Amino acid sequence: MRLSVVALLLVFFGCATDSKKETVEEQTLAANSSALNEKYEVVCFVYHRFGDSRYPSTNVSTKDFESHLSWLKANNYRVVTLSQALENQAGGSAHVRTAVITIDDGYKSFFENALPLLKKFGFQATLFINTETVGSDDYMDWSELERATAAGVEIGNHTHSHSYFLNIDETNRYATFEGEIKNSQQLIEKELGHKPKVFAYPYGEFDPEMKMIVKALGFKSAAAQNSGVINATTDLFELPRFPMSENYADMFEEKAKMHAMSVTAKQPESHMLPRKNSRPTLSLVIKKQKLITDQFNCFIQGSKCKLKVTPESDSTVRVTVQSESSIARARRTLYTITAPDNSGEWYWYSHLWINPAVSESCTKSNFRPSRYHYVTDSLWIRQNGK
């Protein structure tokens, strides 16, 4: 008991909080949101390794991956690249929904164990590569990337070094970030003959200026790592993706069937944990549509969650969420909000808080990177009797 208190104090002071500025004004989300049709939704997944059990928190077994693809096929999903999903919304009337498989980092196990399965099912995917490691150790080389491209895999930019850019001081952060993205674009164009149109933030971490840089460089969209579903109200430069690893492999179907909550305004816009507030309040304006508004729920890893729903207009409600205890000990924390509609379908939204003062090694030893998703998912599933 005493040991755990000491350990907790060490964690608290060793990984103390010092986050950067926050955006204080509430903003409507129209600026970066898409021109997607109102009823169109895209469920997007992020994978890393396949059939590589050395890294369970970022790996899925080949068998589980095949069962995910098989389920999508059996349920008549359109499975296309991220660019295609956002550009071409028609999808054909025969398809029920659109799903996107994204893979981050470009590990060899994708080429060896996942690409053959994608080919077997006739599905496309988007692979985000960090160019510095291409061809080394566990990573695909350029000829493998070329063959993946020929098989219908879209290549996206994931920076050159895959650094923790939020840990670079602000005077150098943006020039470094921009320089790396440009460098990767050039390398990919030189080796594969085209420039990526989509980007993914390493570790899903970014601040508002980094997002502006990605947009200014001409990318069509950028993928984050908070969970959720894409719809017309989604900011195209922070697209949500459901993580898939051994922990959640059996939750795939629930996620694939999930709907997007239509969030029309939020405060704060930024994901940076406020410097002087370790229990930040998130305020959302959400379209009621068919939602059962007294069944909103929120989940926060390692903490209880306070949620308040108040009428905002005839068609919207305001949902405020706050953690009951400090979230400053984790590098990344999700506030997740769910609600059912009157036909039993579920809706999901999450907001990521980032505290760059906590090192990933702190996060790893105390809160495994995947855990902040996993706890939410387990609680949700338990609560809803799935």
Q: Rule CB under 5 A: which residues touch Zn ion?
A: 104-105, 202
Provide the 3-class DSSP secondary structure of residue 129.
strand
Q: Give DSSP secondary structure letters for 349-382.
A: EEEEEE-TTS-HHHHHHHS-TTHHHHHHHHHHHH
Residue with Cβ nearer Zn ion (106 or 274): 106
Phi-psi label, residue 38: left if phi above 0, alpha if psi -120 to 50, beta otherwise = alpha
C-beta of 156 vs 280, nearer to Zn ion? 156
Q: Which amino acid is at 179?
A: G
Beta carbon of residue 81, minimum distance to Zn ion (angstroms, whole number): 18
Residues 180, 165: Cα–Cα separation, whole Å? 10
CB burial of 342-361 (b: ≥16 within 10 Å; e: otherwise) equals eeeebbbbbbbbbbbbbeee
CB 104 within 8 A of CB 136: no
In angstroms, what is the minimal distance from the CB of 200 to Zn ion? 7
Residue type, 200: A
Q: CB-wise, 223 or 339, nearer to Zn ion?
A: 223
State in angstroms the smallest separation of the CB of 331 from Zn ion. 15
Output the residue with the shortest Cβ distance to Zn ion: 104
Displacement of CA 238 from its chain's centroid (Å): 8
CB of 278 to Zn ion, least distance (A): 27
Measured CA to CA, the distance from residue 197 to residue 78 in angstroms comes to 21
Q: Are 208 and 224 in contact (CB under 8 A)?
A: no
Closer CB to Zn ion, residue 127 or residue 236?
127
Taking the complex as a whole, the smallest distance from the CB of residue 294 to Zn ion amounts, in Å, to 39
- The least CB distance from residue 162 to Zn ion, in Å, is 6
Identity of the residue, 158 or 255, whose beta carbon is nearer to Zn ion in the bound complex? 158
Least CB distance to Zn ion at residue 202 (A): 5
**Which tokens in the block code for residue 81?**
């690249």
**What one-letter code names the amino acid at 147?**
R
Q: Please say which residue, 22 or 104, places its beta carbon nearer to Zn ion.
A: 104
Whose Cβ is closer to Zn ion: residue 156's or residue 202's? 202
